[in-house]
Structure 1
Amino acid sequence: MCSVLLLMLTVISGKVSEAQAAGSSAGKHRQAASGAKGRKRVVRKKAAPATARAPARPRRRGRAAAAGVAAGAVTAATAGAAVAANASSNAAALPPVNTKPELLPRCGFTAASKQHIFSRGVYVLDEQTNTPLFERNADTVAPIASVTKLMTAIVWLDQKSLPMSNRLEVTEDDLDTLKFTHSRLNVGASLSRADMLHIALMSSENRAAAAMSRDYPGGRPAFIAAMNAQAQALGMKQTRFENATGLSPDNVSTPRELAELVKAANRYQLIRNDSLDKQKIINIGRGQLQYINSNRLIRYGQVNATVQKTGFINESGHNMVLRLLVHDRRPVVVTMLGSGSADGSRLDGVRIAKWLNCSLN
């Protein structure tokens, strides 16, 4: 009986101990949970002020960024001013840009190609800027042959009230007794003064030029004197004329001075028209004659010009002068003396025209 009671007491005591242990453990869990909750609340309480102060920080950063941007702008402005100052200084130190026109190597104007020019004397002048573009023996005095007829036309047209429709007859005084050249204008042929001028310029008709010089107040001597006076007035100091046809080797000039003659001739509408006409039928009183332009560059439309004239005698070789219009608008005077052949003179004109059309605007 006692042992039974002792056993029951032992069981009850163990249950009590287990209950106390469970209660103690539960209390610890509640305390831990309570502590955790307390710590969470403390953390939230501490985080709240930080969250409240957070908007203030971007404002400080904004002021700093604004200050940085302002400082950067000042720095950039200072740097820009420095660059501008340096650029200005460098620009002042650089030589001025050469705006004068020139013939360009990429356009074929090379030392080798210049050697292929047949004419002994050449002068190429950009009339727009008065710039020489190419020279060869430009100041060498040489016979100019029928290039003379440009001056013949100028002096003859300068007569006052010249009746161009009046007819002019070819006489024996108009025959060539120097070179004994042939002409289709026989003695007795009668042409209007306008036609005389036309074929003298277009076809280099010698008897027409001779008749024109005779048909002048004071006769032929007065006409030759007027030609030389006009040359001096144009500043052609080394130019001399002995007759109106160019058959005399004593009719001389230089490639540079002939540029002045070309520019003067270009001021006359009749000279421009007649020198560029390709062909014309002339009434000579007892029939008709057809004439063509003696310059094949003009006759076949190989260049665009406003004035031209060719010339040849044995002493001069083949000569040609032109006032070209580069790109149909820019005037360039080209004078060429002393080619060994008519083809050489023509090819020189083609080559120079190509240089000009490629090099100039």
Structure 2
Amino acid sequence: MEAGTAAMLLAGMTLLAQTARQPAPEAARIVQAAASMLALPVNARHMLVIDDASGKVLMAKDADAIVPIASITKLMTAMVVLDARLDPDELLRIVAADGEPSQRHGVLGDGVRVSRGTALQLALLPSENRAAAALARTYPGGRAAFDQALQAKIRSLDLKRTSLSEPVGRSPANTSTATDVAKIVAAAARYPDIARITSLREARVAVNGKARLLHNTNALVGGAGWHIALSKTGSSNEAGSCLSMRMQSGGRHVTVVLLDADGARRRAQDADQIRAALATTHF
């Protein structure tokens, strides 16, 4: 039996075990929920859905496997930078040490100056790598101090299966689990700036005095029927297509983590299936 199937089966059996303590109508609902959970054909190799109010795991698929998380890393970078309470209006200069310019955006060339607040938006909304690198480089004490603060943040959030070696998500050594990523999302949701930025479909910012339109890398944000309060995607050859978000569906607020899907389209289809299951199934 594959690990993902076994994890789904275990979660379904956990629900079924509750039937012994429930009246017949409630027991029937639990059985139905378990059956729906087991039948949900998500493409992502690792998945977790948690009820935010109760902390109950609603769906899971190989959620404790340690895998690369790509740019979901940037949620941790944003929290570390915001914890330092730095001036959001301070101008940061992009340099070669911030990595190769993005081929997708071409916004942050060498020598470009942006405010720290704009760099945060660039890192979180279109997932601009150079912006995240600049935020870490200009941390008080430099990159070494940022790295120390990042490791301290991992410990403070009790992320026992998370290892981050850099602030961007370029490295496949930046690894975590769906379970730990859900903890990262819960922590990030307590930062109003992160929740506000990542729940926007698009935003305009000034880069070198010119207005630039940024688009959220999660195309579901702002879509009809979607109520997303926080979102961060990630994508790389090693990590596949990843998504972490908080959303409302079926009358409840949930955290959804999808890791290692086969592209953004399949990732979006997984999210849509999860939303539909939540809307029709009472766990």
**TM > 0.5:** yes
Displacement of 1:146? 0.3
The answer to whether structure 1 residue 322 and structure 2 residue 237 are counterparts is: no
Whole-angstrom CA distance in 2 between matches of 1:104 and 1:349: 23
Displacement of 1:109? 2.0
Residue of structure 2 equivalent to 1:156 = 81
Whole-angstrom CA distance in 1 between matches of 2:150 and 2:173: 14
The letter for the 1-side match of 2:166 is N
The answer to whether structure 1 residue 352 and structure 2 residue 274 are counterparts is: yes
- TM-score normalised by length of structure 2: 0.85
Question: Which structure 2 residues correspond to residues 1-361 of structure 1 after superposition, within 5 A?
Answer: 96-97=21-22, 105=32, 109=36, 111-112=38-39, 114=40, 116-160=41-85, 162-176=86-100, 181-182=102-103, 183-184=105-106, 185-327=108-250, 330-360=252-282
Whole-angstrom CA distance in 1 between matches of 2:204 and 2:102: 22
The letter for the 1-side match of 2:277 is W
| Higher helix content, 1 or 2 | 1
Q: 1:288 to 1:239 in 2, by over 3 A?
A: same
Whole-angstrom CA distance in 2 between matches of 1:353 and 1:104: 19
The letter for the 2-side match of 1:171 is V
The letter for the 2-side match of 1:304 is H
Displacement of 1:357? 2.0
Q: 1:181 to 1:249 in 2, by over 3 A?
A: farther
What SS class does the counterpart of residue 150 from structure 2 fall into? helix
Instruction: Give the number of equivalent residue pairs.
Output: 260
Highest CA radius of gyration, 1 or 2? Answer: 1
Q: 1:125 to 1:309 in 2, by over 3 A?
A: same
What SS class does the counterpart of residue 58 from structure 2 fall into? strand
What SS class does the counterpart of residue 298 from structure 1 fall into? coil
The letter for the 2-side match of 1:211 is A
In structure 1, stretches of 5+ residues that fail to align are 1-93
Whole-angstrom CA distance in 1 between matches of 2:214 and 2:56: 36
Whole-angstrom CA distance in 1 between matches of 2:144 and 2:66: 23
Whole-angstrom CA distance in 2 between matches of 1:259 and 1:354: 20
What SS class does the counterpart of residue 248 from structure 2 fall into? strand
The letter for the 2-side match of 1:331 is H
Contact 1:241 1:250 in 2 (8 A): yes
What SS class does the counterpart of residue 109 from structure 1 fall into? helix
Q: 1:205 to 1:96 in 2, by over 3 A?
A: same
Superposed CA offset, 1:207-247 (max 9, x none) = 11011001101211221221122112111101011111101
What SS class does the counterpart of residue 241 from structure 1 fall into? coil
**Which of 288-297 and 344-353 deviates more?**
288-297
Displacement of 1:103? 7.6
Whole-angstrom CA distance in 1 between matches of 2:52 and 2:243: 18
| Higher strand content, 1 or 2 | 2
- TM-score normalised by length of structure 1: 0.67
Contact 1:123 1:255 in 2 (8 A): yes
In structure 2, stretches of 5+ residues that fail to align are 1-18
Whole-angstrom CA distance in 2 between matches of 1:170 and 1:360: 50
Q: 1:356 to 1:299 in 2, by over 3 A?
A: same
Superposed CA offset, 1:283-312 (max 9, x none) = 112533221111011143452121110000
Q: 1:212 to 1:118 in 2, by over 3 A?
A: same
The letter for the 1-side match of 2:258 is M
Whole-angstrom CA distance in 2 between matches of 1:131 and 1:262: 15
Residue of structure 1 equivalent to 2:5 = none
Whole-angstrom CA distance in 1 between matches of 2:50 and 2:223: 24
Displacement of 1:104? 7.1
The letter for the 2-side match of 1:223 is F
What SS class does the counterpart of residue 217 from structure 1 fall into? coil
